[in-house]
A and B are shown apart, each in its own frame.
Chain A
Amino acid sequence: DTAVSQTPKYLVTQMGNDKSIKCEQNLGHDTMYWYKQDSKKFLKIMFSYNNKELIINETVPNRFSPKSPDKAHLNLHINSLELGDSAVYFCASSQDGTGGLNEQYFGPGTRLTVT
């Protein structure tokens, strides 16, 4: 069984479009995250939700909006896509809320290409 899943795996779209990436975890974890990995492989946190509540909101353009309908799901919606949004987006989850103690388990990633 897949622990953290993301759809779609690949997303190719044009500038100006709006797109969503979905994430689901079946680990029973309380906390979920979105990370962005750029072309140089650098990983940076974007958002974190604990029990559907936003707890981390890094300096991310407000065109990016996360939504957590329940603690097993965290979706990422991106408005007015720009070329610079091209990256791999990873969803992750961990057991604890804000402790920092537990390892995070990552989804397979969504490669977003904006043309």
Chain B
Amino acid sequence: AQKVTQAQTEISVVEKEDVTLDCVYETRDTTYYLFWYKQPPSGELVFLIRRNSFDEQNEISGRYSWNFQKSTSSFNFTITASQVVDSAVYFCALSAYGNNRLAFGKGNQVVVIP
């Protein structure tokens, strides 16, 4: 079974500060996929990134960056120079190869204070 833990429930930062969201996962599968989704106050779920288990390259997209470390089973997400529009709930999720059942973490509520 897949399990995703996002320990920090609510994180408040002042605008322009960096914020890192931790995601720790558990799986017995050797091939798996990790995802991050954003849920802004308007409620929709927006796909941000997918990472395959065999690709440990970190990724940067604008102010967003992701750090994948298999050794610690973590897939952390950093927002650099946060903006008010980054205020949202961020979900980490996991699926195993051959199983499209997405297991979500409980989410990190990020509040960016202007």
Contacts and interface: CB of A to CB of B under 8 A. Distances in A.
B61 interface: no
21 contacts: A33-B100, A41-B109, A42-B104, A43-B91, A43-B104, A44-B104, A45-B102, A55-B100, A90-B45, A94-B100, A100-B96, A100-B98, A100-B101, A102-B100, A104-B100, A104-B102, A105-B47, A106-B37, A106-B44, A108-B43, A111-B43
Interface of B: 32-33, 35, 37, 39, 43-47, 50, 52, 89, 91, 95-102, 104, 106-107, 109
Contacts of A102: 50, 100
Interface residues of A, number: 30
Contacts of A56: 100-101
Contact of B100 (A43, A96, A106, A109): A96
B1 to A, nearest CB: 12
Given A33-B102, A99-B97, 8 more contacts: A41-B89, A48-B100, A56-B100, A90-B45, A98-B100, A100-B99, A106-B47, A109-B45
Contacts of B32: 100
